[in-house]
Chain A
Amino acid sequence: MSEARKNYVRPLDIRHGRIDMAHGAGGRAMAQLIEELFAKYLGNEYLAQGDDGALLPAAGDGRLVMATDSHVVSPLFFPGGDIGCLSVHGTINDVAVMGAKPLYLSAGFILEEGFKLSDLALIVQSMASAAREAGVPIVTGDTKVVERGKGDGVFITTTGIGVVAPGRELSGRYARPGDSILVSGTLGDHGMAIMAARESLGFESPIVSDTAALHGLIEAMRLSGADIHVLRDPTRGGLATTLNEIARQSGVGMMLQEEDLPVKPAVNAACEFLGLDPLYVANEGKLVAICAEQDAGKLLAAMRAHPLGAEAAIVGRVHEDAHHFVQMTTAFGGKRIVDWLSGEQLPRIC
């Protein structure tokens, strides 16, 4: 490594810079935007937690968890789901991975002039059934319309709140050297389903999005009694970026075993074809769990016993590393870094 200005990162150029697509891709560019602009001006002790949701004080026992997520996926309807159920699942998951029981959702709609009411009806019905199945009602909302050409059909922002019992809180800051890293199932299904659905690519595939609400699976995992330290849903930027975020938050390194990573053959083939790496492709119904090593077997069994965790696997281990590198032993027998997503892999994936 060069000696000049070690660990130097070029700051955002606020005067001349502009937002480009990489700022929304979930990778390092987005992390930098959040850190140097949003956190800088809006920062407070809750935002500083740096998780997918905020842990807040509440009257009485326990804490509140609040999370929000905007959805701009294109196309609006894709194999396995649509923007409606995605916007419900995404926010429920962000609340649930904080260790909380999701209670209520809000939904804000930005609609474009000319958008078909029949499509909007399908989306709202899909939201309704997703919320009903999850047992988390949408209790407030907002509707705005922008002129034709100023939006892309519909954008949906959902906010969720939940409660967590004292001592049951989870955070990306709690990974410890020696911990085991588990994933709840196959990687990259959502991203590749969207990719295949984009008309410009013109290839057909049997891949279906994995969009799902994970609070039931998480409840089953908690009931196993395993000492879970971190949960996180690896959405944009994929497993690779999520693990890098956790490694940085917890100040640790990680080592993955490539041959233990579950990837569907069709996803693997589509990634090969497009030159993508499944480790960086978005998931919408999967989670990463980091737990005490001695509980990994127990946790894995609990995950596999649940329909949303049937293909769960132990994929790696946390270790001490001052550089917070996530590394991987390749199936080929070599070693490499598994870095943050850089640039933009698939725009508007969720």
Chain B
Amino acid sequence: MKYIDEFRDGEVAKGLAEAIRREADPGRTYHFMEFCGGHTHAISRYGVSDLLPANVKMIHGPGCPVCVLPIGRIDQAIRLALEQRVTLCTYGDCLRVPASDGLSLMKAKARGGDIHMVYSSADAVTLAQKNPDKQVVFFAIGFETTTPPTAVAIKQAAALGLKNFSVLCCHVLTPSAISSILESPDVRDGGTVRLDGFIGPAHVSTIIGSRPYEFVAEEYRMPVVIAGFEPLDVMQAIKMLIRQVNEGRAEVENEFSRAVDRNGNQKAQQLVADVFEVREHFEWRGLGVLPCSALRIRSQFAEFDAEKRFSLDYQSVPDHTACECGAILRGVKRPQDCKIFGTVCTPENPIGSCMVSSEGACAAHYSYGRYKDV
């Protein structure tokens, strides 16, 4: 099919696998982190790692929107639905993320919460228009890709004069997560995680461009190759990373040039800047509290800010003690290193957030790759 099958062609993959084998120096190993859950999913679903030589290792990164959402934020959304009786809308993956008291949004729905899965922020605005007697809250999550649509929804609601629409804003920023990984004791000199390069985000980069990753190459001497989410994109990016490492280069290269340029989508960036500003601090699951790593709604749109409208305070809640999602999100552990992986923690009964979304490292390994463990 046009624009799908071309990027999944088995013959081309074989050729690329051969090229990677030729490129990789058998005398050393290569450790690359794919930042995005989209890449993690592609690698697992298409079996990309089966095509890589044994000395090229992929490490799953934290770029899965629901995986990095801390329990405290889901708790806020659940409280809005169950205590304030709002109509809560969010993206599908969010519904199953485990929160406090054994709840999730899906379970809160079974307890009577008016919770809807939407495919776009515009659906939430429509719901508010159609139900003027209900308070509709859009639980907005995700990296830079999903942020512009939330900005549009808020602007639309303002233009329509909606008094019953607000946004619980949990949008987070990719570059801060990357620097947090590079600054972490696990990765810095003497740490346990060896990193030789990053596969940079696909969809996020269509919005922010390749420029925001330049500090990774310049300050940390770490190669970055921005890649599309198709399996051939991933293979090509791996080949480019190996070449950078072999040649001692650390640059930001762009494999995904069919959709990404250096400056990104400036119209979308402007929309985001109009509506949002950077928060001083935001808690991430696994990475802890990171400075300047998330967005909040600007004061001129305060009436659409659910945190203000419903006077929500934020309480941090620790993860389940046996759950290794934190270490997995930082690349320190693999899903199969977790004691409760595949036993207590499964996609039906996720204990940690990485077992929820198909982009999460644990769910991807459980659903596609666990035959390798037995």
Contacts and interface: CB of A to CB of B under 8 A. Distances in A.
Interface string A134-156: 00000000000000000000000
19 contacts: A2-B339, A2-B340, A4-B343, A5-B343, A5-B344, A10-B344, A13-B102, A16-B102, A20-B106, A201-B119, A323-B374, A330-B46, A330-B47, A333-B17, A336-B368, A339-B366, A339-B368, A342-B367, A343-B106
A332 B106 contact: no
Contacts of B341: 1-2
Contact of B106 (A4, A21, A337): A21
B160 interface: no
A327 B231 CA distance: 19
Nearest to B106: A20
A268 interface: yes
Interface residues of A, number: 44
Contacts of A3: 339
Contacts of B366: 339
Contacts of B96: 343
B14 interface: yes
Interface string A263-292: 001001100101000000000000000000
A342 B44 CA distance: 16
B111 interface: yes
B10 to A, nearest CB: 5
A335 B50 contact: yes
A6 interface: yes
B336 interface: yes
B347 A337 contact: no
B186 interface: no
A41 interface: no
A4 B110 contact: no
Interface string B13-26: 11001000000000
Contacts of A265: 1
A331 B4 CA distance: 12
A4 B118 CA distance: 38
A208 interface: no
A43 B107 CA distance: 28
Nearest to A274: B119
B19 to A, nearest CB: 14
Nearest to A321: B371
A240 B374 CA distance: 21
Nearest to A341: B347
B184 interface: no
B373 interface: yes
Interface of A: 1-10, 13, 16, 18-22, 27-29, 32, 200-201, 259, 265, 268-269, 272, 274, 323, 325, 327, 329-337, 339, 342-343
Contacts of A334: 46-51
Contacts of A330: 10, 45-47
Nearest to B5: A331
Nearest to A4: B339
B370 interface: yes
A336 B45 contact: yes
A329 B374 CA distance: 18
A88 to B, nearest CB: 31
Given A332-B10, A336-B45, A343-B347, 17 more contacts: A4-B340, A8-B344, A10-B344, A22-B348, A200-B118, A268-B4, A327-B371, A330-B45, A331-B8, A332-B51, A334-B49, A334-B50, A334-B51, A335-B47, A335-B50, A339-B368, A342-B348
A332 B47 contact: yes
Contacts of A20: 106-107, 109-110
A162 to B, nearest CB: 34
B338 interface: yes
Given A1-B336, A20-B106, A333 B10 contact: yes
B126 to A, nearest CB: 9
B370 A1 contact: yes
Nearest to A3: B339
Nearest to B46: A332
A269 B8 contact: no
A333 B1 contact: no
Contacts of B185: none
B349 interface: yes
B47 A2 contact: no
B269 interface: no
Contacts of B49: 334
B347 A342 contact: yes
Contacts of A18: 107, 110-111
